Chains A and B, each alone.
Chain A
């Protein structure tokens, strides 16, 4: 039993490693990834950093929508292959419910970001997406830098 558990764990770890490697490879090879920010450290650019974070968030959002559609399609395949077997249908229904639950969590995180923006008084912009939030943070940091520069030149 314990052997089985270890094997299962090892398999899970291998699975996660392979998936994250593929994802990192895509991030590195992508032209606008955060890797492009990491390569050229001499020219620190806030705009580039903000764009990279926005790009990563956008990729994850697209992936979440894609994952929901893929899981629903997988549930359809399971339900069809059950050919009337109640246990198979039960499995398909649980696949659908977990897929919807996962997407609900993502939508909830969206609302959480909106809540935090309102809490910090950043909700003036028309862009309600997380990318807009990053844009707001960038603007705030830039204004802080401007204030810092102004005070240092004044002294």
Chain B
């Protein structure tokens, strides 16, 4: 469990180490906001995935009941994958805009 928390802490703490440099302009707050929302998105899709899986299992083969959880399963799985890919996407975006990612994160 401590590993999960350390990963979360590291990803939220995308800020300079020195306390003097913290929160002095908007670009130091952006990485935290971005990381926070991406982590929330991953968490929400994970919980929805679990919820729709329970719905899928308890539908007991009824085709009408199966339809909704199936689509929810697909979309929440896609959401989890996409939120994982967002960490790579922002690097690509920053390089596309000519900003070095180390300057931002």
Residues from 122 to 140 in A contacting B, C-beta threshold 8 Å: 128-129, 131
Interface size on A, residues (CB 8 A): 40
Question: Given A62-B30, A72-B89, A84-B69, do A79 and B99 touch, yes or no (CB 8 Å)?
Answer: no
Stretch of A3-11, A26-34, A41-49, A147-155 at the chain-chain interface: A26-34
Name A's interface SS: helix
With A26-B25, A27-B25, A66-B33 as known contacts, state yes or no: A80 contacts B86, CB within 8 Å: no
By size class, the interface of chain B is: 35 or more
Report whether B27 and A74 are in contact in the complex, using a CB–CB cutoff of 8 Å: no
B 62-105 binary contact with A (CB < 8 Å = 1; else 0): 00000111111001101100110010011001101111000010
Cβ of A59 < 8 Å from any Cβ of B?
yes
The answer to whether A53 has its CB under 8 Å from any CB of chain B is: no
Closest 3 CB pairs between A and B? A30-B25, A84-B68, A84-B72
Binding site for A on B (CB under 8 A): 24-27, 29-31, 33-34, 37-38, 40-42, 44-45, 47-49, 51-52, 55, 67-72, 75-76, 78-79, 82-83, 86, 89-90, 93-94, 96-99, 104
A residues near B (Cβ < 8 Å) are 23, 26-27, 29-31, 33, 58-59, 61-66, 68-70, 72-74, 76-77, 79-86, 89, 92, 103, 106-107, 110, 128-129, 131
